């Protein structure tokens, strides 16, 4: 049997496994095997990453064929072809007030402040959300009440600019209010949670997401006042912005519907919470949209129960012209966020340790300007940075 491995750039080592009668081999290069026993053999290939200070390139393999039945006297060839994932090595943002609703900027455009054109500009019906699953499919929300509530754009189509229709359109039953959708987040199992109008957060299972359909979610968390953004921590607990506070629903409560109070209702002193992100150390970062502030709460403060008020560990203030929404951490620990019209930027890890105020706001270390941007809303990387509590943070 010949196993031919191809497609990886120089310096990257494949991870291929051949198993079958009398053989279990890990391959880091192409190989030929003689005198194998007859029978069924399987070939598997793990993902390979090209490391990058901002966002990695994911190389994923196609195996042809992945299972081989070898008879006496027979020779066969298996070809393992690695290729860069179309969505990887890019910063993604949804894009308001502009022609292309989804923009992707490759990492090599993001190393320093510059005026750039996006690598990918996609015209679509995507609304104010960008969420990735583990396969790199991009999920968003419909722009209007007439649109499907949840849209999926397939990973294979994210590498080129142009018009793109979703391959899945999911309507959530009995949503008759505007804006119907306020946020999306995948839990550690791959179920998609949606913050919807009417004070509810609903769970869409893998079965709900498997096809275009109207669904009635089996799990609904209700009576959440002015619910907004969502995030999961490393323990699988669900966090939701609610009436300017942040509430936590413990992972143990997420297997059944409930209208009971959350396990924690967190008030960050002096802040009105609008968007959320966790860093690799378990710190919660809260966006105060009105105050143009990013506020960190240390992990040690997040295990409490009941009604709790905490003081910010760090408060980073951005200039008044910025319109802050949900940010995203990169591989180097920098935080990317929307700024004003036509711009988004990066706060360096050092800037995230220093509190500032409106009188002397923080100027992002990197500012990207692009004529293609109307207003960059929510930011996401694929894959997410290793160590983050995100479903698409691949190992």
Asked if 382 and 92 touch (Cβ cutoff 8 Å), the reply is yes
Specify the CATH number for the domain of residue 115: 2.120.10.30
Asked if 41 and 25 touch (Cβ cutoff 8 Å), the reply is no
Q: Which pLDDT tens digit goes with each residue over 32-83?
A: 999 899 999 999 999 999 999 999 999 999 999 999 999 999 999 999 999 9
241 and 338 share a domain? Answer: yes
Q: What does the alpha-carbon distance between residue 315 and residue 12 come to, in Å, rounded to a whole number? A: 40
Mean pLDDT score, 94-103? 90
Predicted TM-score (pTM) of the model is 0.96
Identify the sign of the CA torsion 116, 111, 326, 386. Answer: positive
Asked if 371 and 100 touch (Cβ cutoff 8 Å), the reply is no
Residue 393 lies inside a defined structural domain of this protein: no
The pair of three-digit structure tokens given for residue 310, joined into one six-digit string: 């905490």
Look at strands 245-249 and 264-268 and give their pairing. antiparallel
Residue 102 lies inside a defined structural domain of this protein: yes
155: three-class secondary structure by DSSP: helix
220 and 198 share a domain? Answer: yes
130 and 196 share a domain? Answer: yes
Per-residue pLDDT band for 176 (boundaries 50, 70, 90) equals confident
Per-residue pLDDT band for 144 (boundaries 50, 70, 90) equals confident
Domain of 305 in residue numbering reads as: 90-382
Give me the sheet containing 343-347, strands edge to edge: 114-115, 366-369, 343-347, 335-338, 328-329
Asked if 197 and 179 touch (Cβ cutoff 8 Å), the reply is yes
């Amino acid at each position: 049997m010949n196993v031919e491995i191809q497609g990886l750039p120089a310096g990257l080592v494949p991870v291929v496994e051949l198993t079958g009668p009398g053989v279990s081999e890990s391959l880091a290069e192409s190989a030929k095997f003689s005198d194998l026993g007859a029978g069924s053999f399987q070939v598997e290939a793990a993902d390979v990453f090209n490391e990058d200070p901002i966002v990695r390139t994911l190389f994923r393999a196609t195996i042809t064929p992945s299972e081989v039945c070898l008879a006496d006297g027979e020779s066969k060839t298996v070809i393992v072809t690695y290729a860069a994932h179309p969505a990887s090595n890019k910063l993604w943002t949804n894009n308001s007030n502009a022609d292309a609703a989804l923009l992707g900027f490759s990492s090599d455009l993001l190393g320093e402040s510059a005026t750039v054109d996006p690598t990918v500009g996609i015209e679509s019906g995507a609304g104010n959300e960008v969420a990735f699953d583990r396969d790199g499919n991009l999920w968003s929300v419909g722009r209007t009440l007439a649109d499907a509530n949840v849209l999926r754009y397939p990973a294979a189509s994210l590498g080129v600019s142009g018009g793109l229709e979703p391959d899945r359109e999911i309507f959530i039953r009995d949503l008759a209010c505007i804006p119907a959708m306020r946020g999306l987040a995948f839990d550690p199992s791959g179920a998609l949670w949606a913050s919807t109008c009417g004070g509810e957060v609903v769970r869409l299972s893998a079965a709900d997401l498997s096809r275009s359909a109207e669904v009635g979610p089996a799990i609904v968390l209700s009576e959440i006042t002015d619910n907004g953004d969502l995030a999961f921590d490393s323990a699988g607990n669900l966090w939701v912005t609610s009436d300017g506070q942040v509430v936590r629903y413990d992972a143990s409560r997420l297997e059944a519907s409930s209208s009971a109070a959350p396990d924690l209702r967190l008030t960050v002193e002096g802040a009105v919470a609008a968007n959320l992100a966790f860093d690799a150390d378990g710190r919660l970062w809260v966006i105060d949209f009105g105050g143009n502030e990013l506020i960190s709460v240390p992990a040690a403060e997040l295990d409490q129960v009941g009604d709790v008020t905490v003081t910010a560990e760090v408060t980073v203030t951005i200039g008044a012209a910025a319109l802050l929404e949900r940010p995203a951490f990169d591989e180097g620990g920098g935080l990317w966020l929307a700024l004003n019209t036509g711009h988004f930027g990066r706060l360096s890890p050092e800037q995230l340790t220093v509190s500032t105020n409106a009188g002397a706001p923080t100027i992002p270390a990197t500012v990207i300007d692009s004529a293609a941007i109307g207003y960059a809303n929510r930011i996401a990387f694929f894959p997410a940075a290793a160590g983050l509590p995100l479903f698409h943070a691949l190992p």
